Structure 1
Amino acid sequence: MIDMLKGYPVITEIPVAWGEMDALNHVNNVVYFRYMETARIDYFNKVQLMEDMKLTGVGPVLGETTCRYKLPVTFPDTLYVGSRISEIKDDRFTMTYEIYSKKLNAITTVGSAKVVMFNFKNKKPDNLSQHLRDTIIDIEGDALKVVERV
């Protein structure tokens, strides 16, 4: 498992619940977005994004999410969701996810999210704080694409 999620600084373990399956006897497509949300919050906790938001008033909002289903997942199973930031800009970043099934010993799902930093006081997009930006760059290392404003 660890080898398949190599390069992901945050790995979230999620047990599949019986109630997440649909009439076709596999995990319903919408549930994967919840899995990725859980992994995203784990990543945010690692970089202390919510603490940063309390200080700056600037926090994350989703601009776009995607999901590609490769293999169906069924109960019982344990999933491991790898999450990372693959690209960072002044006011936004892109997260990528891979979901590994312990039962299938395979990556079952891949996804992404574009996260825009939003100033909740003036209701407009805003830049990441320098502290948050530096923390993400430190965690991601050379794998991160940093897009500088020109």
Structure 2
Amino acid sequence: MDAFKRDFPIHTPITVAWGEMDALQHVNNVVYFRYFETARIDFFNQIGLMEALQATGIGPILAQTQCRFKRPVLFPDTLQVGTLIKDLQDDRFTMEYHIFSEAQQCVTTIGSAEVVVFDFNNQRKATLPAAIRARLENYSTS
């Protein structure tokens, strides 16, 4: 787990809930997208992106997301969702997620999301503000 936390300086703890299990006795596939959403918003809060959205009206929207299941997650467990930035462009970036299971002591799931910068005041795509870009670059592997 130490290596995981070193590789993912921003990670979000999530406790698996009993109600997230499906008939096959593992976490249902749709739940992982909620885990990613929780980690994405936590990441944005930690780097100040949500504050910038309120101040400027420019912020993130989700363009697409995907998930690769490596191992099933079972109840009970606590997960750490690590987030990194990949492919940082002028108007978009890709977030990569790795879900580490404390019970299994390994990464069980890998996901990604393409995030587009959007001007909510004018309802159109926007350029990533320089201050936010600089914060994202601190967590970028590209």
What TM-score comes out, normalization by structure 1 length?
0.90
AA paired with 2:74?
T
- The Cα of 1:44 is off from its aligned counterpart by 0.1
Residue in 2 that maps onto 1:99 = 99
Q: Partner residue of 2:32? A: 32
| Other-structure match for 1:148 | none
TM-score, with length taken from structure 2: 0.95
Alignment partner, residue 118 of structure 1 = 118
1:1-150 correspondence runs (5 A)? 1-137=1-137, 139-140=138-139, 143-145=140-142
Q: Which runs of 5+ in 1 are unaligned?
A: 146-150
CA–CA separation in structure 2 for the residues paired with 1:100 and 1:7? 12
Q: Letter of the aligned partner of 1:122 in structure 2?
A: N
Preserved CA contact (<8 Å) 1:88 1:144: no
**In structure 1, C-alpha distance between the alignment counterparts of 2:30 and 2:19, rounded to whole Å:** 13
> CA offset at residue 42 of structure 1?
1.0
Q: How many residues align?
A: 142
Cα offset for 1:126?
0.2
1:111 offset after TM fit, Å? 0.2
What do the CA deviations read for 1:90-145 (whole angstroms, capped 9, x no partner)? 111100000011111111000000000111122110011111111222x22xx532
Question: Residue 64 of structure 1: SS of its match in structure 2?
Answer: strand
- Secondary structure of 2:2's counterpart equals coil
Flag structure 2 segments of 5+ consecutive residues without an equivalent. Answer: none
Taking only the aligned residue pairs, the percentage that are identical comes to: 52
User: C-alpha separation between the residues in 1 aligned to 2:88 and 2:56?
Assistant: 19
With 109-118 and 120-129 compared, the bigger mean Cα shift is at: 120-129
Report the aligned-residue RMSD: 1.1
